[in-house]
Amino acid sequence: MNEEIRPETVRVFIALSPPDDAKQELARELGPAYRAHPRMRWNRIEDWHITLAFLGEVPPAAIPVLRPPLADLAAARRPLTLALRGGGHFDERVLWSGIGGDLDELRLLAADVRAVVKECGIHFAERPLRPHLTLARARRDTPSCAVEAAAGLSGFTGRPWQTERLHLVASNFGRGPGPIRYRDVDAWSFDGEDRHAG
């Protein structure tokens, strides 16, 4: 898998991904927004994710260092119960869906993920965790699109679902023109008992 990574650096983050049926449920709710705002840059549904830690550009050598401790962390955790809920926007341009459910446990998971990254000697700019799912970006000449689409999601409450895996994801953001693309570098199942509890 490493041979596919660009040799200089790779832009990576650690995330959760909703199951396909939960994403399809939200996509159906977004139908009117898709039709009303076709010029928005819509993220591909298969790329929807909840970022726990954004590491930015790291050398490819960092990837094998991260794998074992992230695998151990996932193995020590029970799945969380989450749901996609409502919507909003950042700076009137970035449309997102909110997250409901086990938010306290989600914050603890994110804190532990970030601690693992630091213990691996990888420095990154920590951002406060704001659990959300980025859906689209409005073009600079039509910023109101994200505001209007967010209003259309205000009453949305998706079905509860359980997190299945912890994902290490690479992105080609900033690699040139075209839509942002993501791919799993690796993913690890949440395997039952939470050894961090108590």
Task: Report pLDDT digits (tens) over 144-187.
Answer: 889 999 999 999 999 999 999 999 999 865 444 455 678 899 99
189 exposure class (CB count in 10 Å sphere: 0-12, 13-18, 19+): middle
Residue 9's pLDDT band (boundaries 50, 70, 90)?
A: confident
For the question of residue 167 being annotated catalytic, the response is: no
Q: Which candidate in 37, 89, 132, 167 is catalytic?
A: 132
Structural domain includes residue 21: yes
State how many domains the chain has. Answer: 1
Question: Is position 165 within any domain?
Answer: yes
pLDDT at residue 76, as a whole number: 94
Is residue 73 one of the residues assigned to a domain? Answer: yes
pTM, entire model: 0.86
Is residue 2 scored above 50 in pLDDT? no
- The answer to the question of residue 89 being in a domain is yes
Q: Within a domain: residue 194?
A: no
Range of the domain at 124: 2-189
What is the pLDDT of the chain when averaged over all its residues? Answer: 88
Is 49 annotated as catalytic?
A: yes
Question: Would residue 35 count as lying in a domain?
Answer: yes
User: Where residue 159 sits, what CATH number does that domain have?
Assistant: 3.90.1140.10
Q: Is residue 196 part of a domain?
A: no
For residue 139, pLDDT over 90 is answered with: no
Q: Does 131 fall in a domain?
A: yes
Of 37, 49, 89, 167, catalytic: 49
